[in-house]
Structure 1
C-alpha cells in the first residue's frame, strides 16, 4: 500500500510540474527545436531509432528508456518531465506498455502532439492473452511495426509539411531495408517444426511467433509486473521435456533468475537444457552498437534463436 501511495504522489507531482511549466511559459506549445531541428522524444528506442533514421538531420531524437530498462515498470523522473516538456513531438508505444506514464502523456497531449503509435494498429491485428490483455510488443512483427512507424512519420510530416517529401523518401528507403530484414529472418527460421519452440523469460515474443510460425512460451505474462510461481516453472519444464526443447533464452531487460530456475529444474530431471543466449525484448542494445539499432537488434535475435535451436545442425 505504501508503494502505491508513493507512486500516486509521484504522478501527481509530475503532472503538477507539467501544469506549472505550461502556465509559466506560453512558448512551451511552440517548436522548441535546437538549431532548427525538430525535437522528438520517444519512450522506447524501438520507436526512436527508426525515426532518427527517417528524420535524418532534420530531427533530434531522444528515447527516455535506454538499454536494460523495463518499460512495464518504468516511472518517469523529474528530468524526464523536463525532456518531454521541451519536445516538439512525443511518441510512445501505448497498449499499456508504459503503464505508469499514461497520465503524463494525456496531460502533455493537451499542449503538443503526442501519439501512441501502437494504438494506431487495427484491433483485429492485435494479440491478446488468456485474460484478454493486449500484447503491446508489436515491434517483433515487422509489418505491424512499419504501420506504427508510418503513423509517427505522418504526424511528423503534419508538424513540418515543408519537410514532408524528405521524410517520405527516407521512410520508403528505410522500409525497404525492413522488408529485406523480414525476408532474411523468414529464410533463416525455416527450421524443422519440431524445433520451433521459443522459451523466454516473459511473454514478449507472441508477434514474433506469429510471424515465423513458432510456438512461444513465456514464464511471465505480457507484463513483467506479473508474478512467477513454482507452477509456472514446472509447466515450462514439462513443455521443454515434451517437445525436447534444446535451449531457452534470457532477456536483456529482465532478471535471469526465472530462466536459470527452469534450467536447474530440468537438470534435476535429467534433461540437458542449454542457455541459448540473451535476446532483446523490451529494450534494445547499447547506443553506438549494432544491437542499439532496431534492425541490428532484430537481426541479433533471429541469429541467436536460430543458432541455439538448431544446435549447429544444418
Structure 2
C-alpha cells in the first residue's frame, strides 16, 4: 500500500524516490514530552518516537534508567533539550554522541533571546517551551535533525514543520487575545517554581515563583514569607499549582496569607515541566499551552472560552 506520506509529498510537488518511503520509520528517542511531540508533528509516519519523561515527571532531577539507556543506544536519533534542563543526564548524552546522532535541540536558540539562569552564571533559563515564539526555533531544529538523518524525506518534514509552526502562531495569537483581557493589576502569576518567565515576557505578566528555575532549589521560609507579604500588600487572590511539582510550598503560602487575614485560592493547575496524559489534547504541546493560557486567564479574571482555543480542552477546568 502506498504510504500516506508519499501521497502528501506528491501533492506538495515533491520529487522523491519511492524507495525512500519504503524505509522503516526512524527510531527517535526524546527526553521531554514537548520534544517528543515536536518529533511526532514533524516526522509523521516517518518516525517512531519514544519519550523518556512522561506526565508529572520533573526533568530537572531525572536520571536515565536501564531501559532509557537501551532505547537510546538503539535509536537512529536522540534528541534532548539542553540548556542544563536534564542536568543529571548530560554526561550520558555527551558519551552517547560518540556512537549515535545526538542533538540538544534548545541549544540552537540564539542566546541573546534567552534569560540568564538565576543559579548558574554560565547557564540559561531552559523553560523555552513556555514561549510559543521560542519553541518555533526548537521545532526548526527538530526538522533539521530529522532531515540530517533521512535527507530523502526532507520535503515531507518541511511540509509538516510549516503546518505545525502555523498552529503555534495560532496558539500565540489566542494567548495574546485572552490574556490581554486580564485586568492589569491581576497580571501577576504566582507559581511553585520559576518556570514561567518566558511566558511572562511573551504575554506581559509578572511571574513570582516560590522555588528558583530548577525544582532542585530549596523554597526557604524567607521566600515564602516574602511572597505572603506580596500577596497581602497587592491584594492578589490567586496562585497556581503545577502538575510536576509538589504543592506543599503552595499550601504553606496560602496558609501564611490566611494567617494575615487574606484569602488566597488556587487558580488552577498548570503544566510546567511536563505535558498531560498521552492520547489527550493536553498531552500535546498545543494542548499544554492552550490549557495553561486558558486556566491562567480565567483564574485571574478574564472571560475565556470554556474549552479553550479550539474547544478541545477537557471539561471542568
Q: TM-score range by the shorter chain?
A: 0.7 to 0.9
**Alignment match, 1:310:** 301
Q: Are 1:70 and 2:58 counterparts? A: yes
C-alpha separation between the residues in 1 aligned to 2:79 and 2:173? 28
Q: 2: CA distance between counterparts of 1:302 and 1:114?
A: 32
Counterpart pick for 1:38 among 20, 26, 29: 26
Match of 2:258? 267
- Is the 8 Å Cα contact of residues 56 and 274 (structure 2) preserved in structure 1? yes
Q: Report what 1:56 is aligned to.
A: 44
User: Counterparts in 2 of 1:17-166, with a 5 A limit?
Assistant: 36-131=24-119, 132=121, 133-166=123-156
Q: Please say if residues 201 and 250 of structure 1, whose CA atoms lie closer than 8 Å, have aligned partners that are also in contact.
A: yes
Shift of 1:311: 6.7
1:244 matched residue in structure 2: 235
SS at match of 1:219: strand
* Partner in structure 2 of residue 289 of structure 1: 280
Which of 163, 169, 177 aligns to 2:167? It is 177
The answer for unaligned runs of 5 or more in structure 2 is: 1-21, 306-317
Supply the distance in 2 between the matched residues of 1:47 and 1:193 (Cα, whole angstroms): 33
In structure 1, runs of 5+ residues without a counterpart are 1-33
| Deviation by residue 1:194-214 (Cα, 9 ceiling, x = unmatched) | 111000000000100000010
Report Cα offsets for 1:203-261 as digits up to 9, x if no partner. Answer: 00010000001000000001011111111111111121222212001100110100011
Check conservation: 1:201, 1:256, Cα contact below 8 A. yes
- Matches for 1:7-26 after TM superposition, within 5 Å: none
TM-score, normalised to structure 1's length?
A: 0.87
1:52-99 CA distance string (max 9 Å, x none) = 011111100111000000000111111110011111101111111100
State the distance in 2 between where 1:35 and 1:255 align. 44
Measured in 2, the distance between the counterparts of 1:313 and 1:297 equals 16
Q: Is the 8 A contact 1:246 1:308 kept in 2?
A: no
Q: CA–CA distance in 2 between the matches of 1:257 and 1:143? A: 32
Tell me how far apart the structure 2 counterparts of residues 272 and 285 of structure 1 sit (CA, whole Å). 29
Q: Alignment RMSD, CA only?
A: 1.6
- Distance change in 2, residues 1:251/1:54 (3 Å): same
Cα distance in 1 for residues equivalent to 2:302 and 2:187: 13
Structure holding more helix per residue: 1
| CA drift at 1:294 | 0.4
**Structure 1 residue 117: deviation in Å?**
1.0
Partner SS for 2:213:
coil
Judge conservation of contact 1:286–1:292 (CA < 8 Å) in 2.
yes
Q: Deviations over 1:243-297 (max 9, x none)?
A: 2212001100110100011011101111110111110000101101111000001
Does the 8 Å CA contact 2:294/2:304 hold for their aligned counterparts?
Answer: no
Asked if 1:298 is matched to 2:286, the reply is no
Distance of 1:129 and 1:48 partners within structure 2: 25
